[in-house]
């Protein structure tokens, strides 16, 4: 591209910069990022004919279902046709938000049978993900399935096979996969900015009752307002318990605990940046420290995952941490540690810090040389100075790099926009069932390691647990 062409693009971006689509701290705003931003802006502003419209239905209209739906409707040409939820109050809320003509039901099969539904957002409790995804694909619907893609590891290949057999669009909802911040981290990592990777430290801490999934429950929660029998299909029959419905993440029958909810985000981000397919060994430990409210999952958990050397990545270790009663007040970060520096993603941006060892190993200081006889000390020092030049003894210094997403930037909007682009064009999604499973399975293996008190050996290429 000519310099004039590049300048015109820059002026274009500056003119629309107030939309909050893209901003990066120079000098990191490269030509490729500029072009991607312009493409995104044009896409958001283009109009669609009636033939291009996508009719959407949401199955599971809780917190995430609300957020996904509202974000999806920001994408031009997407219309909401129907909402399904097992609590009648949420169906009433859907009509309040989107009009009395919105079709609502407690039975998701009625959604899948509708000819006017092109795509679904699946935001139910985790135990329904695999089942509804497979049924929806067979009914010809495009599926945006919230993470984790499956509730149990043994469900993963069934979802992958259903997507392949139907050849329908299916995307998993881990929005960091579409983030411009993670894209920049991937670019910097692959350019060798921190040298050879050897460790990743990933943290997702919280410190609040709502953050620990003690959500406000409706005043009318009862077997009359909740379709409890449908909810517990596939698990042992138990009496109605509003906690197990409205706080489902706390219970293994319905959710996947901190690993399935939060480890999976950290794994998705790590895999995007490194190109890794997954770890080969998985171990986790933790405890129930504070939120002793009847839940049967830990509120503090650490995973240690070993990645073997492959064509995609060097050998490295990934540590995963969630603490629901963290005195930090809560934090989320991923820090990639290489031989020459770190990339840390935190707070809507990233920082690269360099630390490069000199060629000379050093002598003196906290070193054994001072414990030797004086004559030997002098001889060793002279030999060292003869072998290494002044430049060899200097640390190479490079300035830190900062990259920031703009105020109001939404990787969630980018991720959902990418999904609908694939629905319209048939192009591959940014997070297919294989990627989704390769992030979900190690997270779920952390649960298995914790509850079974053992190390899990995993085959990331063939996506299966290895028998020890």
What average pLDDT does range 209-223 have in this prediction?
A: 98
Q: What is the pLDDT of residue 14?
A: 40
d(CA 269, CA 271): 5
Which of 1-5, 300-304, 328-332 is predicted with the least confidence, judged by mean pLDDT? 1-5
pLDDT surpassing 50 at residue 341:
yes
Res. 52 pLDDT band, cuts 50 70 90: confident
Half-sphere exposure of 369 (CA within 13 A, CB side): 16
What average pLDDT does range 430-441 have in this prediction?
A: 98
d(CA 76, CA 120): 16
User: What's the whole-number average pLDDT of the chain?
Assistant: 91
pLDDT surpassing 80 at residue 293:
yes
Q: What is the pLDDT of residue 378?
A: 97
pLDDT surpassing 70 at residue 438:
yes
d(CA 201, CA 336): 7
Q: What is the pLDDT of residue 442?
A: 98
Residue with tokens 């430290």: 201
| Residues 359-394 pLDDT 10s | 999 999 999 999 999 999 999 999 999 999 999 999
- The Cα diameter of the chain in Å comes to 94
Q: What is the pLDDT of residue 4?
A: 42
Q: What is the pLDDT of residue 47?
A: 62
Q: What is the pLDDT of residue 468?
A: 67
* pTM for the structure as a whole: 0.90
| Residues 110-163 pLDDT 10s | 999 999 999 999 999 999 999 999 999 999 999 999 999 999 999 999 999 999
| Residues 85-119 pLDDT 10s | 999 999 999 999 999 999 999 999 999 999 999 99
CB 269 within 8 A of CB 176: yes
Q: For residue 306, count other CB atoms closer than 10 A to its CB.
A: 16
Q: What is the pLDDT of residue 70?
A: 98
| Residues 67-79 pLDDT 10s | 999 999 999 999 9
pLDDT surpassing 80 at residue 42:
no
Distance of CA 14 to the CA centre of its chain: 30
pLDDT surpassing 90 at residue 37:
no
Greater pLDDT, 327 or 45: 327
pLDDT surpassing 60 at residue 31:
no
Greater pLDDT, 409 or 15: 409
Q: What is the pLDDT of residue 48?
A: 63
User: Above pLDDT 90, what percent of the chain?
Assistant: 88
Q: What is the pLDDT of residue 467?
A: 87
């Amino acid at each position: 591209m000519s310099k004039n062409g590049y300048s015109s693009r820059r002026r274009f971006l500056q003119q629309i910069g107030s939309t909050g689509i893209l901003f990066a701290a120079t000098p990191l705003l490269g030509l490729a990022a500029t072009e991607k931003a312009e493409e995104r802006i044009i896409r958001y502003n283009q109009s669609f004919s009636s033939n291009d419209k996508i009719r959407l239905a949401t199955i599971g209209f809780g917190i995430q279902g609300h957020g996904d739906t509202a974000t999806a409707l920001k994408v031009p040409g997407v219309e909401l046709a129907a909402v399904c939820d097992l609590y009648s109050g949420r169906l009433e809320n859907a009509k309040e938000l989107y009009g009395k003509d919105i079709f609502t039901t407690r039975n998701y099969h009625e959604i899948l049978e509708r000819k006017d539904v092109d795509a679904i957002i699946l935001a139910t409790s985790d135990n329904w993900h695999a089942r509804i995804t497979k049924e929806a694909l067979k009914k010809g619907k495009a599926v945006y399935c919230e993470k984790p893609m499956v509730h149990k590891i043994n469900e993963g290949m069934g979802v992958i096979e259903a997507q392949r057999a139907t050849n329908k669009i299916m995307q998993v909802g881990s929005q960091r996969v579409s983030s411009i911040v993670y894209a920049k981290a991937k670019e910097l990592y692959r350019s060798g900015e921190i040298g050879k990777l050897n460790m990743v430290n990933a943290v997702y801490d919280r410190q609040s009752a709502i953050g620990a999934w003690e959500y406000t429950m409706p005043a009318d929660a009862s077997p009359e307002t909740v379709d409890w029998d449908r909810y517990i299909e596939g698990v042992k029959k138990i009496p109605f318990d509003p906690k197990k419905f409205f706080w489902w993440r706390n219970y293994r029958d319905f959710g996947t605990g901190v690993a399935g909810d939060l480890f999976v985000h950290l794994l998705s981000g790590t895999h995007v940046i490194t190109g890794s397919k997954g770890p080969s060994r998985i171990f986790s430990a933790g405890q129930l420290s504070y939120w002793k409210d009847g839940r049967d999952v830990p509120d503090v958990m650490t995973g240690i995952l070993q990645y073997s050397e492959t064509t995609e990545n060097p050998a490295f270790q990934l540590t995963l941490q969630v603490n629901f009663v963290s005195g930090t007040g809560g934090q989320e970060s991923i820090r990639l540690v290489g031989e020459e520096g770190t990339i840390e993603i935190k707070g809507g941006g990233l920082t690269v810090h360099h630390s490069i060892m000199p060629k000379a190993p050093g002598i003196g200081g906290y070193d054994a040389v001072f414990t030797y006889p004086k004559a030997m000390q002098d001889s060793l020092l002279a030999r060292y100075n003869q072998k290494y030049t002044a430049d060899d003894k200097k640390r190479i210094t490079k300035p830190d790099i900062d990259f920031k997403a703009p105020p109001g930037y939404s990787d969630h909007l980018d991720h959902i926009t990418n999904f609908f682009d694939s629905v319209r064009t048939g192009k591959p999604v940014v997070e297919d069932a294989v990627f989704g499973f390769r992030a979900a399975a190690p997270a779920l293996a952390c649960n298995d390691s914790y509850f079974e008190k053992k190390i899990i050996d995993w085959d990331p290429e063939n996506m299966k647990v290895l028998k020890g």
